[in-house]
């Protein structure tokens, strides 16, 4: 490596020395392209001949007759790497001129950097930086004007438009000449971001210093053009009493999109900062205004938001009589204008801190007013005032915060008064530091008062909450009182919670009392309800021999007093959860006792006790829940007659075959009164089956209820009523069908006339009700059939209700006597029911007056280029088998039969029949291979449609089916379901 250096020490102002290096003999490894850098510098210095009275000197400013001096330097750097080639050309020209009044030096520097990547995928970039600095010195002042322009261009591709960013900055600094007593410092001009130092204020004769800087940034992309202009002007003045620095910054940003659909935005930010320093205090006043405008289109009104913030901060120095203090006040005004309304929000925050007691007071006020553009919309006003006082001493730290919110809504400007809500919240937090004798404690108190005034009533709500934490125990109490003037209602809520923690367990005890009083009038007695809840929760930590367990006990007592009676209801719920390696068991016991004491002595006193025990056991295979309920009702002197409810619910975990889940519950209730004894047994069995293929969910609920009433006296007849309800719910993505059938059998046993001999036969009434509801996206159709059979005859009532959109149509048809039936193979069928025959080509339907209507199936027996084959005896129509290779489409109409349900009409049965070519090919080049080509006759166009099925029990449902539209020879791997077209369900 050979290095040659050359330096000219006769440098003029603004010029510099340049080193030149020439690198020879680069070395690189074989196969890797080299990285080279070539640097060329050309420097030309021209100095005119001096006059006889003033020879040039590089160390002293030129004389009045000194000629100008010019230096020009051009540097070119070319860097080549395997990734790209970068070329940087720097041109610097410095000119110094002098006259009898001033000296001026101009330095122009231009740097152009271009980067061209080796590949076409990477973008090419070009950056041009031009800097012009003019130094002007006069006996009165010194001015430095600096202009910088940066132009960046990025070309992503050769076809798309480039992205350019142009940034221009002009900065002018003027410093007046100092007096003889205090020359200014030219090496440290004031900064635009920081105030002058308060420890070294300028002298009484120091002149002001002004700096002005203008920056323009223009960014052009294929989407939009953005222009940002920033102007910063800083002025520093000093006097015998204070030093003041004023900084004014204005930024205007405009974005104009390339397309007319996108909105254009303009934002103007103006900031004025005034720093004032005196021996007593330092004040900083900052005003910021932000104006944002968005134009959605050229015709619509723009949306504007103007935010003005004034911040004043004053710090007073300490004196012998007063401690140091800091005061800060911030005022923010936001005005938002839209085509709908104008919203004005004013926020004022004042903060004062006094030392050494560390007392801080913060007052915050927020006022928001919204005025709509139209007169029909109400205007709203909200004012929020927050006062925070923070006091800190070595012993106690206290924070007190008071917040008041006043909201006003004016319904109209004429008759209706406005609606106002005033909410006041006081929050006090006190923390005591620990000592050698006492542990640290924290006390928190919250007081809230809400007053709501409407044209109808006035409601006042008071809430008091107090929480104390000491070591491992936390005690919290809450009291809430609500008073409504119009309804004369008062509600009081008190909550006390105590939490204790030890290494072995955690216990939480919570007591809640709710007292509600309602005055019906000035003379009537009030109605009161008092609810008391005690909640005790204990969690034991796990040990090496026992897993963790949780016990929770909740006791609720409700006392309701009305002018008629007093009711006391006590509910106790105890829950215990334990776990083992194989299962998790939860036992919950609920005991509920309700006692009603009437105000008068004639009405009996009633007591009801209900006890429910639920045991839930969970294993990896299933979840079993066993529920036992006992109800005992006592009225006056009647002895208790307990009843037991046994419910066993087993839910299996889901599997791939979707096993059904079944829940069965049996309830027996025995009620004894002075008149009779009633026994009621209810059995509810619920089965849910989810289909994993057709997205159908079927839920079957069978409810059987038997009620027997045996009177105490022999004159009153005994009755037995048996109710059986079967509900079938079918849910699909398109619709939900609910079918509910109810049968009520009532038997009345007449009392015997003499001894045990009954002279009158019992009478029986049978009432059968069937209700079918089909819910679609826009249509709900319900059909209810009621059939009542007595010894006199049978009455049938059919009610059909159809709701579509917002219209409901109800049609009711009633008839007496049994309807005609069709008899076939010793079976009876009603009108319209399907009669199964066992013959695949014949369909029988029960018609009018008991006649049977046959419906024959018509088969397509055409078979071009082939023959018909009967594939099975249970198939009505034969299959066409072609003699040669062919694939064709066939269809014929037929009914759909599912159990005892028949389709509403014939649907097309479609087939793809025929054979397709198959072959196997062996190739030898470029390497041995064997390829199998298999052809299958498959649908090329497939649709999914729906048909309505009507059943013999009066229900109906929608059944999906596939319909082939065309066939062709395809690859055996082709799946026609990938191109399936699912049509929508059309309701009749």
The CA distance from 744 to 722, in Å, is 6
What is the per-residue pLDDT for 542?
A: 72
Section 571-583 average pLDDT = 76
Name the DSSP letter for residue 976.
G
pLDDT band at 654 (very low <50, low <70, confident <90, very high): very low
Residue 492's pLDDT is 72
The stretch 768-792 carries a mean pLDDT of 73
Residues 585-641: tens digit of each pLDDT: 888 888 778 888 887 766 777 777 777 887 778 877 677 777 777 777 676 543 333
Q: Which range is least confidently modeled, 6-15, 438-447, 803-812?
A: 6-15
- When the pLDDT of each residue in the chain is averaged and rounded to a whole number, the result is 74
Contact 685, 661 (CB under 8 A): no
pLDDT of residue 513: 78
Q: Which residues are CB-neighbours of 268 under 8 A, at least 6 positions away?
A: 250, 251, 252, 253, 289, 290, 291
Among the ranges given (112-126, 406-420, 484-498), the one the predictor scored with the smallest mean pLDDT: 484-498
- Looking at the predicted structure, is the pLDDT value of residue 503 above 60? yes
Provide the pairing of β-strand 419-432 with 396-410.
antiparallel
pLDDT at 939: 93
The string of pLDDT tens digits covering residues 912-957 is 888 888 878 777 666 788 888 888 999 999 999 999 998 988 888 9
Q: What pLDDT is recorded for position 947? A: 92
**Would you state the pLDDT for residue 447?**
78
Look at residue 31 in the predicted model and tell me its pLDDT: 56
Q: What is the 3-state secondary structure (H, E, C) of 491-552?
A: EEEEEEEEEEECCCEEEEEEEEEEEEEECCCCCCCCEEEEEEEEEEEEEECCCCCCCCEEEE
When pLDDT is cut at 50, 70 and 90, the band that residue 660 belongs to is low
Q: What is the pLDDT of residues 329-344, one digit of tens each?
A: 888 888 888 887 888 8
One DSSP character per residue, 18-60 reads -------S----TTS---EEEEEEEEEEEEPPPBTTB---SSS
pLDDT category, 546, cuts 50, 70, 90?
A: low
The answer to whether residue 722 scores a pLDDT higher than 60 is yes
Determine the Cα–Cα distance for residues 399 and 168; give it in Å rounded to an integer.
Answer: 51
pLDDT (0 to 100) of residue 38: 81
pLDDT of residue 1: 37
Contact 210, 173 (CB under 8 A): yes
Most confidently modeled of 99-103, 264-268, 641-645?
264-268
Residue pLDDT, tens place only, 247-272? 888 888 888 887 777 788 888 888 88
Maximum mean pLDDT: which of 364-378, 490-504, 951-965: 951-965
Q: How confident is the model at residue 868 (pLDDT cuts 50, 70, 90)?
A: confident
Location of structure tokens 């397509």: 860
Give the per-residue pLDDT at 946: 93
> Using one digit for the tens of pLDDT, what is the confidence trace for 298-312?
677 788 888 888 888
Query: In this prediction, what percent of the chain has a pLDDT beyond 90?
Result: 3
Query: How far lies 14's CA from each of 41, 106, 109, 130, 412, in Å?
Result: 17, 8, 11, 16, 75
First to last CA, the chain: 96
Query: Of the given ranges (130-139, 490-499, 651-660), which has the lowest mean pLDDT?
Result: 651-660
For the four alpha carbons of 177, 180, 185 and 186, in that order, the dihedral sign comes to positive
Lowest mean pLDDT among 90-94, 389-393, 408-412: 408-412
- Predicted pLDDT at 117: 85
What is the rounded CA–CA span in Å between residue 237 and residue 898? 100
Alpha-helical segments (H) within 93-171? none
Choose between 180 and 161: higher pLDDT. Answer: 161
Tokens 């709203």 belong to residue: 380
- Residue 487 is classified by DSSP as T
Mean pLDDT of 782-788: 75
pLDDT of residue 691: 61
Q: Which residues of 651-665 are buried (b: 16+ CB within 10 A; e: fewer)?
A: eeeeeeeeeebbbeb
CA gap 242, 275 in Å, rounded: 10
Distances from the Cα of 286 to the Cα of 193, 247, 278, 310, angstroms: 12, 9, 18, 6
pTM of the model as a whole: 0.36
- In angstroms, rounded to a whole number, what is the distance separating the alpha carbons of residues 244 and 235? 8
């Amino acid at each position: 490596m050979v290095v040659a250096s050359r330096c000219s020490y006769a440098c003029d102002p603004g010029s510099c020395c340049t080193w030149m290096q020439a690198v020879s003999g680069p070395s690189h490894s074989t196969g890797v392209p080299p990285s080279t850098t070539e640097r060329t510098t050309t420097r030309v210095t021209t100095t005119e001949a001096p006059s006889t009275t003033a020879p040039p000197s590089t160390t002293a400013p030129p004389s009045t007759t000194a000629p100008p001096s010019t230096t020009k330097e051009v540097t070119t750097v070319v860097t080549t790497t395997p990734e790209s080639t970068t070329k940087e050309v720097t041109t610097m020209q410095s000119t110094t001129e002098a006259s009898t009044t001033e000296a001026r030096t101009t330095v122009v520097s231009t740097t152009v950097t271009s980067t061209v990547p080796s590949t076409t995928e990477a973008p090419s970039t070009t950056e041009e930086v031009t800097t012009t600095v003019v130094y002007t010195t006069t006996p009165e002042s010194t001015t430095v004007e600096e202009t910088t322009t940066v132009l960046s261009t990025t070309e992503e591709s050769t076809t798309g438009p480039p992205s350019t960013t142009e940034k221009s900055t002009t900065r002018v600094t003027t410093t007046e000449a100092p007096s003889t007593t205090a020359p200014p410092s030219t090496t440290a001009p004031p900064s635009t971001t920081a105030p002058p130092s308060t420890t070294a204020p300028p002298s009484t004769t120091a002149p002001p210093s002004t700096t002005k800087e203008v920056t323009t940034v223009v960014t052009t992309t294929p989407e939009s053009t953005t222009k940002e202009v920033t102007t910063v002007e800083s002025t520093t003045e000093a006097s015998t009493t204070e030093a003041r620095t004023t900084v004014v910054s204005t930024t205007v940003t405009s974005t104009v999109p390339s397309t007319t659909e996108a909105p254009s935005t303009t934002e103007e930010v103006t900031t004025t900062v005034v720093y004032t320093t005196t021996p007593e205090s330092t004040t900083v006043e900052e005003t910021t205004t932000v104006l944002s405008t968005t134009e959605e289109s050229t015709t619509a009104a723009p949306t504007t938001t103007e935010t003005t913030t004034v911040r004043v901060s004053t710090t007073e120095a300490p004196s012998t009589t007063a401690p140091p203090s800091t005061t800060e006040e911030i005022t923010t005004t936001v005005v938002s204008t839209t085509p709908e309304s104008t919203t004005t929000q004013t926020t004022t925050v004042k903060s004062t801190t006094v030392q050494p007691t560390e007392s801080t007071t913060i007052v915050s006020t927020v006022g928001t007013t919204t005025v709509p553009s139209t007169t029909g919309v109400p205007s709203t006003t909200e004012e929020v005032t927050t006062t925070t006082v923070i006091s800190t001493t070595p012993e106690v730290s206290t924070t007190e915060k008071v917040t008041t919110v006043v909201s006003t809504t004016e319904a109209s400007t004429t008759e209706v008064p406005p609606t106002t809500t005033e909410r006041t919240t006081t929050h006090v937090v006190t923390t005591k530091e620990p000592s050698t004798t006492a542990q640290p404690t924290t006390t928190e108190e919250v007081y809230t008062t809400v007053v709501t005034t409407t044209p109808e009533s006035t409601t006042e709500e008071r809430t008091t909450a107090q929480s104390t934490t000491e070591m491992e125990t936390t005690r919290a109490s809450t009291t809430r009182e609500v008073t409504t003037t119009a309804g004369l209602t008062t509600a009081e809520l008190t909550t006390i919670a105590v939490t204790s923690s030890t290494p072995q367990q955690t216990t939480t005890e919570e007591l809640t009392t709710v007292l509600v009083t309602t005055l019906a009038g000035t003379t009537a007695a009030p109605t009161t309800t008092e609810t008391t809840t005690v909640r005790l929760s204990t969690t034991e930590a796990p040990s090496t021999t026992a897993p963790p367990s949780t016990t929770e006990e909740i006791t609720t007592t409700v006392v309701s007093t009305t002018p008629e009676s007093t009711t006391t209801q006590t509910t106790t719920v105890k829950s215990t959860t334990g776990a083992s390696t194989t299962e998790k068991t939860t036992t919950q016991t609920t005991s509920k006792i309700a006692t009603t004491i009437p105000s008068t002595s004639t009405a009996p006193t009633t007591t009801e006790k209900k006890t429910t025990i639920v045991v839930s056991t969970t294993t990896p295979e299933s979840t079993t829940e066993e529920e036992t309920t006992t109800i005992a009702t006592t009225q006056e002197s009647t002895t208790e007659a307990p009843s037991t409810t046994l419910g066993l619910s087993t839910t299996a975990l889901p599997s791939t075959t979707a096993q059904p889940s079944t829940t069965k519950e049996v309830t027996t209730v025995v009620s004894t009164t002075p008149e009779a004894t009633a026994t009621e047994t209810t059995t509810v069995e619920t089965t849910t089956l989810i289909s994993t293929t057709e997205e159908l969910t079927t839920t079957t609920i069978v409810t059987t209820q038997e009620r027997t009433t045996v009177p105490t006296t022999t004159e009153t007849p005994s009755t037995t009523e048996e109710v059986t309800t079967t509900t079938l719910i079918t849910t699909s993505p398109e619709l939900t069908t609910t079918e509910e059938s109810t049968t009520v059998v009532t038997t009345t046993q007449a009392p015997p006339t003499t001894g045990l001999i009954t002279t009158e036969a019992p009478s029986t009434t049978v009432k059968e009700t069937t209700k079918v509801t089909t819910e679609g996206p826009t249509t709900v159709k319900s059909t209810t059939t009621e059939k009542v059979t007595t010894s006199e005859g049978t009455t049938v009532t059919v009610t059909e209700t159809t709701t579509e959109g917002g219209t409901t149509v109800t049609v009711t048809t009633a008839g007496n006597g049994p309807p005609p039936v069709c008899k076939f193979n010793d079976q009876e069928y009603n009108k319209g029911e399907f009669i199964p025959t066992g013959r695949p080509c014949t369909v029988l339907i029960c018609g009018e007056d008991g006649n049977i209507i046959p419906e024959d199936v018509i088969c397509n027996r055409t078979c071009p280029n082939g023959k018909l084959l009967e594939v099975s005896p249970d198939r009505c129509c034969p299959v066409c088998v072609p003699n040669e290779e062919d694939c064709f489409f066939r269809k014929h109409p037929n009914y759909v039969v599912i159990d005892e349900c028949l389709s509403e009409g014939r649907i097309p049965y479609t087939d793809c029949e025929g054979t397709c070519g198959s072959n196997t090919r062996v190739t030898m080049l470029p390497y041995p291979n064997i390829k199998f080509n298999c052809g299958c006759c498959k649908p090329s166009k497939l649709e999914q449609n729906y048909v309505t099925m009507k059943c013999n029990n009066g229900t109906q449902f929608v059944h999906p089916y596939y319909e082939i539209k065309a066939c062709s020879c395809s690859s055996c791997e082709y799946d026609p379901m990938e191109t399936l077209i699912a049509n929508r369900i059309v309701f009749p």
